[in-house]
Amino acid sequence: MLLELRQAPGELLVTVSDSGIGIPPEELDQLGKQTCRASNVAQIPGSGIGLHTARLITQLHNGSLTIRSSLAEGTSITVSLPAATANRKA
């Protein structure tokens, strides 16, 4: 698993990537819905609530969550959050 933090103009990006089994392409748009799990994870424990929770938290912070995946190659999930601008007075 790889965790990457980056800053782009106006946003902060957090990407989590793995080199696992991947997600079937026809199921990518369903992920992130409450208790949804890909069809190829029958032997892997989990409830399907993690991505749903991550998507909700990201949306509450005016961000976005994107998923890229290739079967037998792995998955990358990127959370993009608006960069805070602080005008602090000394």
Mapping DSSP onto H, E and C, the string for the chain reads CEEEEEEECCEEEEEEECCCCCCCHHHHHHCCCCCCCCHHHCCCCCCCCHHHHHHHHHHHCCCEEEEEEECCCEEEEEEEEECCCCCCCC
Please state, for a pLDDT cut of 70, what percent of the chain lies above it: 92
Which CATH number is correct for 2-82, 1.10.10.10, 3.10.20.30, 3.20.20.80, 3.30.565.10? 3.30.565.10
Question: Is the pLDDT assigned to residue 61 strictly greater than 90?
Answer: yes
pLDDT in tens, 9-44: 999 999 999 999 998 999 888 877 777 788 888 788
Q: What is the model's pLDDT at position 85?
A: 63
- Average model confidence (pLDDT) across the chain: 88
pTM of the model: 0.81
